[in-house]
Structure 1
Amino acid sequence: MLQRRQQPRQTSGIDYSALAIPKGGKVGRVKPGRYVNPKHIASLHDYCCCLAGLGECDGPVEVHHLLNPWVGIRGAGRRSDDRNGIPFCFGHHRGRNGVHRRGDEDAFFREKTGFPEFGRRQAEELWKNSDFWECVP
């Protein structure tokens, strides 16, 4: 068990009263920013569903942000950045047998293509060949 200090802390002697303190801001760990590229996402709507070869597509093309991104991070309740977008029809994205209903993205791609890395490979290829590619640190 941790022991409490016996002596009170000494002050540094610095006057902080003149510093502006932002109001309403969150205190704690700062989350890294999410890379956003609306032009790249808009260009993905020009593609067919990446699973169109299966012949079971349904509805207009939507952009799916990978649940298991190939680059960057994805936190709880946060979508992956725009480099991780792939074109899906409504059926494969949010439909009855879609990836969001399934929940496990790798199992979804394994079932549909036999290759769990399929979505990550597609997103990486689409990003690297995009007309709106830019170097992201």
Structure 2
Amino acid sequence: MLQRRQQPRQPSGIDYSALAIPKGGKVGRVKPGRYENDKHRKDVAGMLCCLWQLGECNGPVAGHHLLIPWVGIRGGKRRSDDRNLLPLCHHHHVGDGGVHRHGNEEAFFREKTGHPEYGRVLAEKLWKDSPFWEPVP
């Protein structure tokens, strides 16, 4: 069994406070942080499904992070940040008629609304009109 060091380390005198700390403990590559806003995420999840006019809604509403974000990045098994949220019911989110089952977000919104940019435009509007909006560097 490994023993823990009993005596504290002596400070080196180097100030590390201005250095970026890599996410996930990997050295050499610093990923940009993913913006998160719990209040905005809960607010969006409390809205009606953004496709409710179609009359196909079924199940609780959840926040869908855009697969093709209007701002920020996505990729490497990472979802887009919380500025890229849409309220979708279970049916339109992960159900048989949902965006995750469809596979192509732009084609999904073109099929449902006639506008492939619908999701990005709406997510941007929801973020900019959000009572929890804040400037993001």
TM over 0.5: yes
SS of residue in 2 equivalent to 1:108 = helix
1:10-49, Cα deviation, whole Å (9 max, x unpaired): xxxxxxxx78xx9x93123211100000000001122100
Q: Within 2, Cα distance between the matches of 1:32 and 1:44?
A: 24
Instruction: Say yes or no: does 1:117 pair with 2:89.
Output: no
**TM-score, with structure 2 as normaliser:** 0.81
Q: Which residue of 1 aligns with 2:99?
A: 99
- Once the two structures are TM-superposed, the CA of residue 75 in structure 1 deviates from its matched residue by 1.3
Q: Counterpart of 1:44? A: 44
Q: What do residues 40-69 of structure 1 show as CA deviations (whole Å, max 9, x unaligned)?
A: 000112210000000000101010000000
TM-score, normalization: structure 1?
0.81
Question: Which of 1 and 2 has greater Rg?
Answer: 1
Question: In the aligned structure 1, how far is the partner of 2:95 from the partner of 2:53?
Answer: 17
1:116 deviation in Å? 0.3
Amino acid at match of 2:126: L
Unaligned 5+ runs, structure 2: 1-11, 15-20
Give how far 1:70 is off: 0.3
Structure 2 distance, partners of 1:122, 1:134, is: 18
Question: 1:130 and 2:130 equivalent?
Answer: yes
2-side partners of 1:101 and 1:59: how far apart? 16
Q: Which residue of 1 aligns with 2:69?
A: 69
Aligned sequence identity (%) = 66
SS at match of 1:120: helix
Aligned residue type for 1:46: G
Gaps of 5+ in 1: 1-17
Q: Give the corresponding residue for 2:84.
A: 84
After superposition, the C-alpha distances for 1:78-109 in whole angstroms (9 at most, x for unaligned) are 00000000100000000012100111100000
Aligned equivalents of 1:104 and 1:30: distance in 2?
A: 30
Distance in 2, Cα, partners of 1:118 & 1:87:
13
Which residue matches 1:10?
Answer: none
